[in-house]
Amino acid sequence: MERRAWRGLAALLLVGITGCSPASTPGQTPDIPDDALLDASPADGDRGAGPDTSPPPPRLRVITFNTGTSLKPPDGEENRGYGPEQWAACDTWYGNGLSWIPLVEDAAAWMDGAEPDIVAFQEIFWPGDCPGIPEEHHPGFVCEGWAPGDLTVAERVLGEEWQVACHPGKPDKCLGVNRRAGSLRGCAEDFCLEGLEGFPVEDCGKGARIARGVVDLTGSGVLTVVSVHGSSGFSVEDGDCRARQFEQIFVDLGDGEPAANGEWNLILGDFNVDPVIMAGLDAGADVLNAHVGAGLPFGYVTEEGPSAPATYAGYVRIDHVISDVFGGACWHSGISAGHDPVTPATAFDHHPAVCDLVPR
């Protein structure tokens, strides 16, 4: 979620909590114990006529992480050097994206420990914007000493052996693939600025908020990955934008085919709407609920519903992993038992979702 959209959230939550949530949670995949992950059986081949002799999708660990920083200035002086002054500079000049060097280092250390195969980022600062930021706001931020050709923030967080490709017109939204898991088709370098496929939605801002990448998996198989960052905001118009963006996932990306058009599909990101609390109140939630849930082609891997962990600001569940072939178990840094936050500092307003995927 983007900070400017925070106003009005409490009122909308009150509406949702007082009786507008559906009676049941569509498509919820329960947590799977660790030992069950080891014993998970391949897909049973009932998706078509006759026995399915194709190899099942592989087990993968995936993360969706909105790295936008906190909604209000942090308190106290000991906060990785990220105080009210730095918070204000980040908000004004860095698009509220991950850009303060100690926080980048913390995120990199956390990511290294999580050992994911695929990562979707939202609101991760694009250093190509550094030349437009006054030099007095460079010290301590990634713009300090940065030059074209240096590593991007996404590359610094992920480390070596990764490919990173970003949304067309939206360099703060990127998809990373570890080379041990596979390679991004059409991206020959470590970093491809507009290496994903996507199209803007008319009258809903510039650039593509939905983007598709095709991953040629190590060994065999092809995975279509859809990276999502739905529009923020609480107006009817904002909900309409989300609805049209989500239709790009399931109906038509803009090239005549849905973004999720592969044999194996993975959809992940910040949807900027809680599909359960906002069902019937938000057009975007209604599009999700028409395609994702029990008895539908796609299901949630992350939990959703009033009892699920709140991934944003302690209130709503807007960061999700969805698939047509994968189930699995997920945890969220800082709120799931046994999992520390990404950083000890007051910094991020989202809790990233970490999901271990297994074939359904």
- pLDDT category of residue 21 using cuts at 50, 70 and 90: very low
pTM: 0.87
The set of residues, in sequence order, having a beta carbon less than 8 Å from that of 235 and lying 6+ positions away, is: none
More confident residue, 360 or 77: 360
Residue 100 lies in a domain: yes
What DSSP character marks residue 346? S
Number of domains in the chain: 1
- The DSSP result for 56-97, as a single string, is PPPPEEEEEEE--B-SSPPPSS-STT--HHHHHHHHHHSTT-
Query: Between vectors from CA 254 to CA 179 and to CA 278, what angle results, nearest 5°?
Result: 85
Tens-place pLDDT, residues 241-280 = 999 999 999 999 999 999 999 999 999 999 999 999 999 9
Name which residue leads in pLDDT, 231 or 37: 231
> Does residue 44 lie in a domain region?
no
Range of the domain at 81: 55-359
pLDDT digits (tens, 9 = 90+) for 161-180: 999 999 999 999 999 999 99
Distances (CA, A) of 73 to 77, 87, 131, 143: 11, 6, 25, 21
Angle value at C-alpha 311, between 113 and 36, nearest 5 degrees: 60
Cα–Cα separations (whole angstroms), residue 233 to 5, 18, 69, 315, 320: 5, 21, 17, 15, 18
Q: Would you call 268 helix, strand, or coil by DSSP?
A: strand
pLDDT, average across residues 56-78: 88
Burial of 145 from C-beta contacts in 10 A (0-12 / 13-18 / 19+): exposed
What pLDDT is attached to residue 72? Answer: 79
State residue 301's pLDDT score. Answer: 98
**Residue 341: is its pLDDT beyond 90?**
yes
39 pLDDT band (50/70/90 cuts)? very low
Give residue 19's pLDDT.
Answer: 36
Residue 54, pLDDT > 80, answer no
Residue 153 lies in a domain: yes
Instruction: Say if 38 falls within a structural domain.
Output: no
89 within some domain: yes
Residue 26 falls inside a structural domain: no
Task: Please say if the pLDDT value at position 31 is more than 70.
Answer: no
Does residue 231 register a pLDDT over 90?
Answer: yes
Q: Which two tokens stand for residue 252?
A: 């038509």
pLDDT at 47 over 50: no
* pLDDT confidence of residue 306: 87
- pLDDT score for 73: 81
Q: pLDDT, tens digit, for every residue of 283-307? A: 999 999 999 999 999 999 999 988 9
Contact (Cβ atoms closer than 8 angstroms) between residue 214 and residue 186: yes
Which residue did the predictor score with more confidence, 12 or 205? 205
| 69 pLDDT tier (thresholds 50, 70, 90) | confident
On the question of pLDDT at 33 being above 80, the answer is no
Identify the top-confidence range among 13-22, 152-161, 307-316. 152-161
Does residue 150 fall inside a structural domain?
yes
Q: Is the pLDDT of residue 140 over 50?
A: yes
CATH code assigned at 67? 3.60.10.10
Average pLDDT over residues 54-74: 89
Whether 12 is in a domain gets the answer no
pLDDT of 184 strictly over 60: yes
The pLDDT of residue 219 is 86
